[in-house]
Amino acid sequence: EDKVVQSPLSLVVHEGDTVTLNCSYEVTNFRSLLWYKQEKKAPTFLFMLTSSGIEKKSGRLSSILDKKELSSILNITATQTGDSAIYLCAVDRQGAQKLVFGQGTRLTINP
């Protein structure tokens, strides 16, 4: 069965710190890995990663995929209180037509 595990489950840091969130997966016929941010309501899309070693970047957020290690990291630099959210990792596999989500990392940024 496909499996996605995120760590840590919960993280509390101070504004300005840099954080790294981890996602590991076990899935047959892997196609892509996606990161979402969930604040109060709907998860919103951050990144889709398909190729190993190529960093995707959006402002202070960046992510990279390691297909050899079956993992991905999401980095957030110079964190702000608005980064407080649950960050969800999900994988998509060939022919599955669904995303399998990890349990999320709850990130809290204190001022």
Partner 1 sequence: DTAVSQTPKYLVTQMGNDKSIKCEQNLGHDTMYWYKQDSKKFLKIMFSYNNKELIINETVPNRFSPKSPDKAHLNLHINSLELGDSAVYFCASSSRTSAAGELFFGEGSRLTVL
30 sits near partner 1 (criterion: CB under 8 A): no
The only residue of 43, 64, 65, 79 in contact with partner 1, by rule CB under 8 A? 43
Q: Which residue has the tokens 């840099």?
A: 18
1 sits near partner 1 (criterion: CB under 8 A): no
| Structure tokens, 78 | 């110079």
The only residue of 7, 80, 103, 110 in contact with partner 1, by rule CB under 8 A? 103
Q: Are 60 and 76 contacting, i.e. CB atoms less than 8 angstroms apart?
A: yes
Q: Is the peptide bond before 8 cis (omega within 30 degrees of 0)?
A: yes
The only residue of 42, 59, 68, 82 in contact with partner 1, by rule CB under 8 A? 42
